[in-house]
Structure 1
């Protein structure tokens, strides 16, 4: 035993005494606070919520183990859960495709050599670095039925005003429009980076072959931009499923649960009704949905993502 471990110990001492070993130790010391922070503030709550999802707990009493009762009630006895799933899916389908297409078109426009292009890029990115709560309050005033600027614009064009946030029909589209505007700048920056990474040689060769702008876009830009598009779509889907602040600030989930999303419902169960076990089960159901969709996207990207022509 000692004959086996002695050479190993010698190699360890030799490694620790080398420059590479000292650099490794220094690196681990530097990242130790981050690792501890992840363990204390991320990993521990995640594992704790997994345990609580199998209990009935109201923050004040001792958690009572009840196995899969929360999940069974959630999936089979709670109609509001399925309403929030439908609303969240509506929001995802409304924001992700539209936001991605608009971001791509604007990125192409802002990638041209035009005057003040840096100013325009900054203007589009400003909402991204602004607080979503502040922006929600701003759009709350814009959507105001009687004197909001959106309805004033519609009336000036000869249309009737819309009760944006008090209508079951229009409340979710109103939040979708605001969310697209808020997140547009981030996707534009990502697409611009992707566009600038496409070699110009391809476009020059296509020009020599007589290709017009549309053919270049379809046969060069779209295929070579597909990895960036995949990245944008994946992040957009993940973020859209976690929408909360917009519904909380602008509609409080109304009217008649028309904008109540799954994260908002989780918040209500956990921090208004103090059903922490049920809220934890909701969180893990959402986690499974997001992970499943993300894995599907990674599987399906093999059919349409191209890393070279």
Structure 2
């Protein structure tokens, strides 16, 4: 049996420095979560009622909110991964006006989510929106775009996608730049006769496996926590047919407007479960990939 190494002074100092943060996390995160769990599992005020999770499953608004959240996750996250990667790769390959292109694609992230949401909402305004102004110039009939559920949902999904692209673009650009500093990898591939497309397929993409999982985790957390964008885009008049009627908005509506605290707590726990699941899957996949990457030049 091997003896455990004694705790040295440096390790003890590190734990001592982390102690205040640990107390704050336990006091303001874990303890409230445990309290919420007991509230959510408790009985409702009315007698002879099952627990609040069973009532939550029967609520049509909750089922629609869950459906809208999953639609946003399945629609925005994969598109943000693919488009964000190709934008980052294209900007890294183009030398002409490279800082300008980076600035353009970083604007959604730098301008703030609320500001970009207001800007996108202004595009579809009935009286002074750019969409209707363009239709007027062509002699077409203007429309209340934000009052048409299909058009409003499509516009909202595009808004969320543009905001998410800023996050994925930054991460991919940072990783691709570290690869470009390792010129020996691409020089070996070029010596073997690999074209730019083959270098992308056999060198760049395998080296970005872990980065894809990191971006997936970031984008999932971003979509699952959507609230401000939906509240502003739909002028705080959301109905269940709107994609902005997500789990976070359902928790807000149930808690602050309907004052159904136990149902809101149960919905918050469901949302937290989805977030934990969304973190576990990418983190488990990250452990399977080695940190040090060696390209398979023979495959070229």
TM-score (norm 2): 0.81
Distance 1:137 1:88 in 2: 21
Structure 1 unaligned blocks of 5 or more: 1-11, 58-62
- Per the alignment, do residues 271 and 301 of structure 1 end up closer, same or farther by CA in structure 2, a change over 3 Å counting? same
Cα shift at 1:228: 0.5
Structure 2 counterpart of 1:88, from 65, 69, 85: 69
- Per the alignment, do residues 308 and 208 of structure 1 end up closer, same or farther by CA in structure 2, a change over 3 Å counting? closer
Distance 2:290 2:11 in 1: 37
Structure 1 counterpart of 2:251, from 266, 269, 273: 266
Cα shift at 1:274: 1.5
Distance 2:174 2:35 in 1: 40
Residues 12-45 of structure 1: CA deviation (Å, up to 9, x unaligned) = 9xx7xxxx42x45544443343223222322222
Q: Secondary structure at the match of 2:128?
A: coil
Tell me, yes or no, if the aligned pair for 1:100 and 1:187 is still in contact at 8 Å.
Answer: yes
Distance 2:146 2:215 in 1: 29
Structure 1 counterpart of 2:264, from 262, 279, 285: 279
Highest CA radius of gyration, 1 or 2?
Answer: 1
- Per the alignment, do residues 234 and 159 of structure 1 end up closer, same or farther by CA in structure 2, a change over 3 Å counting? farther
Residues 210-268 of structure 1: CA deviation (Å, up to 9, x unaligned) = 22222221222111112111110122123212211111111136355323111100111
Q: How does 1:1-309 map to 2 (within 5 A)?
A: 20-21=8-9, 23-24=10-11, 26-55=13-42, 69-75=51-57, 77-112=58-93, 114-153=95-134, 163-198=144-179, 199-251=182-234, 252=236, 254-255=238-239, 257-259=241-243, 260-297=245-282, 307-309=293-295
Tell me, yes or no, if the aligned pair for 1:143 and 1:164 is still in contact at 8 Å.
Answer: yes
- Per the alignment, do residues 56 and 190 of structure 1 end up closer, same or farther by CA in structure 2, a change over 3 Å counting? same
Distance 1:98 1:156 in 2: 32
Structure 2 unaligned blocks of 5 or more: 1-5, 296-300
Tell me, yes or no, if the aligned pair for 1:54 and 1:67 is still in contact at 8 Å.
Answer: no
- Per the alignment, do residues 217 and 135 of structure 1 end up closer, same or farther by CA in structure 2, a change over 3 Å counting? same
- Per the alignment, do residues 104 and 278 of structure 1 end up closer, same or farther by CA in structure 2, a change over 3 Å counting? same
Cα shift at 1:152: 3.3
Residues 270-292 of structure 1: CA deviation (Å, up to 9, x unaligned) = 11111121111111112223333
- Between stretches 285-294 and 63-72, larger displacement belongs to 63-72
TM-score (norm 1): 0.79
Tell me, yes or no, if the aligned pair for 2:40 and 2:262 is still in contact at 8 Å.
Answer: yes
How many residue pairs match? The answer is 286
Aligned CA RMSD, in angstroms, stands at: 3.3
Q: Secondary structure at the match of 1:211?
A: coil
Residues 175-221 of structure 1: CA deviation (Å, up to 9, x unaligned) = 11111222322211110121123233232222222222222212221
